[in-house]
Structure 1
Amino acid sequence: MSSAIDAAQAAIAEEFALFGDWSERYQYLIDLGRKLPPFPDAWRNEDNRLHGCQSMVWIVAEGDAQRLDFHAASDSAIVSGLIALVLRVYGGGHDAAEIEATEPDFIRAIGLGSHLSPTRSNGLAALLARIRDIARRAQAGERFDPG
């Protein structure tokens, strides 16, 4: 596994350990979501929409098997924060094989799974599945260009 991916997951766990309760953690998620890079309106289309989320979520990838980057956005504050966490782990231009092989251990480490509504849990699972699918497709030779 990539040391950068491991470091990102460890840093997330350390950050969340600083908060005393989940209301503080939710506020931190909201703050993280507000810091997501701008997501062009042209990318907010049905082809890039992530189904399986109650909120509107869009994700695009760029690159190939050697280096994949992800960009995503949501219309929900907490979901945007979840996206920010996922992109921190997987979105840093990692090798597609590393992305596919890396389990999202930060979710368990910060107790996120037991503090999300079922619809948000399903959406997070759908986001992670899409990222892994893109990584598999990149390994099969597909290139991604967000246009």
Structure 2
Amino acid sequence: MSNPFGTEITPEEIVDTLGFFDSWEDRYRYIIDLGKQLPEMDDAKKTDDRIVKGCQSQVWIDHWLEGDKIMLSVDSDAHIVRGLLAVVMSAYNGKTPQQVLDFDIEAFFNELDLIKHLSPTRGNGLRSMVQKIRELATTLS
């Protein structure tokens, strides 16, 4: 199964790695680096039907099924948002629709201590990305 990072990065590994950093500046750098590992989305897929509404930056999410697993391709015009997308992808990409719906993303974000370190508009955008993926999973389940 294809993986956006080339290797499997789990939510638990992201939590562990972020725990090594003392400052949020270093944590942001790590999140941005995760985003740099995501493959570029083909510009032809950056269409209005794939754009996520409610984000400060432009965000696109494409999806397809490989067997019973949802595969995602994502992109944004902002480096930090690509990083946030990578965090979300660690939880959702390559999972069944039911696994996507069952995953407690709020608990994951709380474990990362992420939402309170984002601006309100970035936090809302992150929730919009999650909502879009959960809607896709609901449609496919």
Alignment partner of 2:81 out of 79, 97, 101: 79
Match runs of 1:15-94 below 5 Å: 15-63=17-65, 66-91=68-93, 93-94=94-95
Structure-1 separation of matches of 2:48 and 2:101: 24
Q: Gaps (5+ residues) in structure 2?
A: 1-8
Shift of 1:106: 2.2
Shift of 1:29: 1.2
Kept after mapping to 1: 8 A contact 2:59/2:77: yes
1:108 corresponds to:
110
Where 2:21 maps in the other structure, the secondary structure is: coil
Where 1:94 maps in the other structure, the secondary structure is: coil
Alignment partner of 1:9 out of 11, 21, 24: 11
Superposition TM-score, scaled by structure 1 size:
0.85
Where 2:104 maps in the other structure, the secondary structure is: coil
Structure-2 separation of matches of 1:106 and 1:13: 8
Structure-1 separation of matches of 2:96 and 2:24: 33
Structure-1 separation of matches of 2:10 and 2:36: 19
Shift of 1:64: 7.0
Q: Which amino acid aligns with 2:69?
A: R
Q: Which amino acid aligns with 2:129?
A: L
| Runs of 4+ with deviation above 2 angstroms | none
Q: Percent identity?
A: 35
Q: How many residues get paired?
A: 132
Superposition TM-score, scaled by structure 2 size:
0.89
Match runs of 1:98-137 below 5 Å: 98-104=99-105, 105-137=107-139
Range 28-37 or range 46-55, more displaced: 28-37
Shift of 1:97: 0.6
